[in-house]
């Protein structure tokens, strides 16, 4: 099981007019409820994480593990959707996700994101998308939708 994970609008839910709080580690603080819901998903599925967020280029994998652990998300492994290391080289979120799916042919995955470019994906991929409200992030409804897609509802 794999979770393709965005940050802004998923775990970081600060309105654009408000300043984002930064943790002691230099990264943005998460919405506590959204982080707890993701932790619940991870405990029920043991899913791996693939970062789709544009922030992925700012840190290496080891640093991402530290950042997530400091926010209550203990993971053994994490990956980035691709090896792009500059915002100017990034495609749309939809094109990056489609490329990952085509290159990895995953059996069971879910996309957690608020990026509307995902609407343009083929239905076979788009049907695995849980669209979050950017002001709320992963709420109970989104958590249940993720568990449903991953087939972990009764676990």
Residues in the chain: 155
Q: State the pLDDT at residue 105.
A: 87
Among 124, 133, 138, smallest CA distance to 3 is for: 138
Whether 94 and 128 have beta carbons less than 8 Å apart is answered as: no
77 pLDDT tier (thresholds 50, 70, 90): confident
Q: What is the pLDDT of residue 114?
A: 97
Q: Which helix (H) or strand (E) holds 131?
A: strand 129-131
Helical packing angle, 32-45 and 140-150, nearest 10°: 20
> Contact at 8 Å (CB) between 97 and 52?
yes
* Three-state DSSP state, 61: helix
For residue 155, pLDDT over 60 is answered with: no
What pLDDT digit, counting tens, does each position of 14-39 carry?
988 899 999 999 999 999 999 999 99
């Amino acid at each position: 099981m794999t979770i393709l994970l965005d940050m802004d609008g998923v775990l970081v839910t600060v309105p654009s007019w408000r300043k984002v709080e930064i943790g002691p580690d230099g990264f943005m603080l998460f919405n506590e409820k959204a982080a707890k819901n993701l932790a619940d998903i991870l405990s029920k599925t043991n899913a791996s994480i693939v970062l789709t967020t544009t922030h992925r280029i700012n840190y290496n994998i080891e640093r991402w593990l530290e950042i997530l652990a400091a926010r209550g998300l203990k993971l053994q492994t994490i990956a980035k959707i691709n090896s792009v290391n500059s915002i100017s080289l990034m495609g749309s979120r939809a094109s990056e996700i489609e490329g990952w799916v085509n290159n990895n042919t995953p059996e069971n995955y879910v996309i957690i994101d608020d990026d509307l470019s995902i609407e343009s994906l083929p239905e076979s991929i788009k049907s695995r998308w849980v669209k979050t409200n950017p002001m709320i992030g992963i709420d109970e409804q989104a958590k249940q939708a993720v568990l449903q897609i991953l087939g972990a509802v009764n676990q």
